[in-house]
Each structure stands twice: as C-alpha cells, then as structure tokens.
Amino acid sequence: MINDSIKIIEATVKAAMPEEVAEIIRRYENDERAGVKALLKRLKNKQNKAIAEQNRLTEMYKYEQSCHERGEERIAGVDEVGRGPLAGPVVAAAVILPKGWKPEGINDSKKLSEKLRNTLYEQIMEHALCVSVSTVTPEDIDRINIYQASKKAMTEAVSSLEIPPDHVLIDAMTIDLDVSQTKIIKGDQKSVSIAAASIIAKVTRDEYMKKLHERYPFYGFSTNMGYGTAEHLQGLREHGPINEHRKTFAPVQALIG
C-alpha cells in the first residue's frame, strides 16, 4: 500500500493531466482512507466530464469531418445574430477553422456564459484561418425585411473571406453564392464551425449595443441588446424610437403610428 499523505494525493489529483488520470486512480484505488476515496471520486467525475466533452465535440465535428472525407479542406461556418431585437443591426460572421480544431466548451453562443463566450472569441480570433463579419443596418432591415437582411449579412460575410471556402456550413438557410453549402437546422449546436461563427457574431453585436447604450442609456441596450424587454419598452414609451430602432417591428411601429 502506498502511504502518501492525503495532502500529497490532493496535490497530485489537482495537478493531474488527462493522460495521468488512469495511473493515479490505479495507484490509489485500494487506499481505504475516506479522504482518498473522496479525492478519487472527484478525479473520476472530472475524467467522466472530460470524456463527455470530447464525445460532444466529436459529434459537433461530424459535418466538418464529412467534408474532409470528400476532399473539402477549407470549411466555413456561417451564422447570424440579431433577428429578434427591436433595435440594432443584424450581424453575421463566417469563420474557417484549422482542420480538426475543436476548442473545449464551444457551443451555440446563446448557451454560453458571457465570460466563456468572450474567452472562446479570443481563441477563435487567434486560431482561425480567417474570419469575416458583416452587418446590415436597421434601415436596411426595414427596407428588405429581417429574413432578407439576415441572408444578405451571411452572403456578404462569406464573400468577404480572405480564403475562399471549399464548402460552407450555414445555420438554417442557404445563400445565393456559387459555393458548395449545407443548411443545418440548429447548426450552431451541431457544428463547431457554425458555433464559432455564432460566437464571433454575438460578441461583435453585443459590443456594438453596449457602446450604443453609452449614447442612449434609457433603453437598457447594455443588458437587453435591443430585445423587447420591459425596460426597453418603457424607454420606448418615454423617449420614442431612435434611428437604431427597426421601424417595421410591431412594438416600434405601434409607437410611431
């Protein structure tokens, strides 16, 4: 029996690399001390979570993997944010990631905490082969409707990529470009590349709305990002709409008659 102190075992568990976990468990699995059993249980739980995360990422990479198996190397993920808000632009991003790169924690941007979303944003911007962002203004949204505005933003994002993609994975629509593409419903939850694009688009739009809040604080843009919250609607009733409001959206349209 190994007579390491619980303090030493705790330090070993805390510093364990993924490839060391199985050996640490084997080394101490017959130790009957309650403290050691608790430490090993914690380590096993950590290992199980890591395995589950790797399996999730592998599943999220299946569309990219299918493209690679067909000989398509440069895969662009495309997504947009901002369809539902009453104010602000719709923002789309296109991202080409390195082959096989699956950052831990990546997911649909709406499912992530702001802290993790911002961390992943920095990782994506550092590692991506190229990133492109396109915005469509509230004025254009009113002119062509939100569906066409979203499609326009996505199309422009792909067109602006510095590296031409071999294939495009798009969340829930197709675009009018002569490029091989796959439409994926809820793609930001099913594709690493689309999830990366959703993170870039959301962080970009959120930062825009936070800056807009500094000019127009009475709508609460820094927290509602332009969505029709009670605070936002109250601000609309008291101060009326600004240029950044979408005049064809019902709550705004009702106020301006």
The answer to whether 29 is a known ligand-binding residue is no
The residues facing 75 across adjacent strands are 167
pLDDT of residue 1: 52
One-character DSSP codes across 110-163 = GGS-HHHHHHHHHHHHHH-SEEEEEEE-HHHHHHH-HHHHHHHHHHHHHHT-SS
Torsions phi, psi of 103, nearest 5?
-65, 135
Could you tell me if 150 and 85 are in contact, meaning their C-beta atoms sit under 8 angstroms apart? no
The ranges assigned to domains in the chain are 8-60, 62-211
Q: What is the pLDDT of residues 52-62, one digit of tens each?
A: 999 999 999 99
* Right CATH for 62-211 from 3.30.420.10, 3.30.565.10, 2.40.10.10, 1.10.260.40: 3.30.420.10
Alpha carbons 104 and 101: distance in angstroms, whole number: 10
Which residue spans within the chain are E strands per DSSP? 75-81, 90-96, 130-136, 167-171, 181-184
| Residue 244 assigned to a binding site | no
User: Collapsing DSSP states into helix, strand and coil, what is residue 75?
Assistant: strand
Q: What is the pLDDT of residue 236?
A: 95
Predicted local confidence at residue 15, as pLDDT: 87
37-61 burial, b for 16+ CB within 10 Å, e for fewer? Answer: eebbeebeeebeeeeeeeeebeebb
Residues of the chain with pLDDT under 70: 1-2
Global pTM reads 0.89
Residue 245 is predicted with a pLDDT of 98
pLDDT tens across 192-232, in order? Answer: 999 999 999 999 999 999 999 999 999 999 999 999 999 99
- 174: amino acid identity, one letter: T
- The values of phi and psi at residue 171, to 5°, are -80, 105
pLDDT for res 256: 83
Q: What is the pLDDT of residue 14?
A: 86
Q: Is 142 known as a binding-site position?
A: no
Q: What pLDDT is recorded for position 37?
A: 92
